[in-house]
Structure 1
Amino acid sequence: MTDFNEPISTRNLDQYGHAELPWSRPRDILAGETASADLTFFVSTVRPDGRPHSAGVGAVWVDDALYFKGGPGTRRSRNLALNPACSVSVRLPGIDLVLNGEAHRVTDSATLERVAAVYRTGGWPVSVEGDALTAPFTAPSAGPAPWHLYRLTLHDAVGVAGAEPHGATRWDFANG
């Protein structure tokens, strides 16, 4: 698994003289709060005709990677099957974040179990069934169960801090 603890390059995008933001700021929030905080992530994918598609999803940060779900019949899952390029946006406490990369379906049982356990700590009673997730309920945007699990391979990220210390930064990762 790729280690996203540190980016390979960082670029300060702030025009007001603030220092560049450390990647640890959004990463630590993702690692500590995605399972329990009321965060809404938006996944943007590309339709076969090139038009964008966005949908709110429940996502969790597990072992330095972002995971999200989608039913096989959802526009998101159909788009990712053809083109894994996507962006994930979220407003974290004190910093807005956009993660860009590729999302690929996860089917190995060990990872499915590990991510399901994290979802359960946040109150969603999910379980693994075959190579997918299932539960008695989910958000309407996920489609009916079972749900595919996707892992975002991070290429780059942009953060804009709305709380001290302010700033705007782009982080590039080895997968970009």
Structure 2
Amino acid sequence: MPNTQRLLTARNIWMATVRPNGTPHLVPIWFIWINERIYICTAPESIKARNLRANPNVSVSLEDGNNPLVVECTAKLLDKPFPDEVVRLFKSKFDWNILTDDEYGALFEFTPVKWLLG
């Protein structure tokens, strides 16, 4: 496994999902890294959330192109109650309480499958 320390401090990752027609959808998004998992929170009906519910395969990359870290993952939509540690880390890293933000109420857990660069 690559050096994942940068995942603790980086604010954004680039996330690639697959649309129903097979084309990619690439967006930057806030995230946290804990217990060898990546977590993102988004609007339940956003393109990325719909894509992940239809096809759980996702690739993510840190923004630094000079020192790349790229990983393929499998996504899972989490039901409430959300894990306490995940809620706490979103609050401490972004000053964002994901429990009270109904607009962005879909929490996904990404399990790394294959590290490509890092």
Asked whether the equivalents of residues 29 and 92 of structure 1 are also in contact (C-alpha less than 8 Å), the reply is no
CA RMSD across the alignment: 2.1
Larger Rg: 1
AA aligned opposite 2:31: A
Between the aligned partners of 2:82 and 2:104, the Cα distance in structure 1 is 17
User: What letter is aligned with 1:46?
Assistant: V
**Alignment-derived partner of residue 47 in structure 1:** 19
Q: Which residue of 2 aligns with 1:109?
A: 81
Deviation at 1:107, TM superposition (A): 1.6
Q: Which residue of 1 aligns with 2:72?
A: 100
**CA distance in structure 1 between the aligned counterparts of 2:82 and 2:41, rounded to whole angstroms:** 16
Matched, 1:118 2:89: yes
Which residue among 147, 157, 167 is the counterpart of 2:115?
A: 157
Corresponding letter in the other structure for 2:96: P
Deviations 1:51-99 (A, max 9, x none): 1111111011012211111111110000111110110111359621111
Q: Deviations over 1:30-55 (max 9, x none)?
A: 23x14xxxx32111111111111111
Percentage identity across paired residues of the two chains: 21
Dislocated runs of 4+, deviation >4 Å: none
Offset from partner CA, 1:104-152 (integer Å, 9 cap, x none): 11124251x22110011124231425xxxx1xxxxxxxxx714211111
User: How has the CA–CA distance of structure 1 residues 114 and 159 changed in structure 2, closer, same or farther, with 3 Å as cutoff?
Assistant: same
State how far apart, in whole Å, the 2-side matches of 1:46 and 1:127 are.
25
Q: Aligned letter for 2:7?
A: L
Distance 1:127 1:76, change over 3 A: closer
1:80-95 maps to which residues of 2 (within 5 A)? Answer: 80-92=52-64, 95=67
Q: TM-score, normalised by structure 2?
A: 0.86
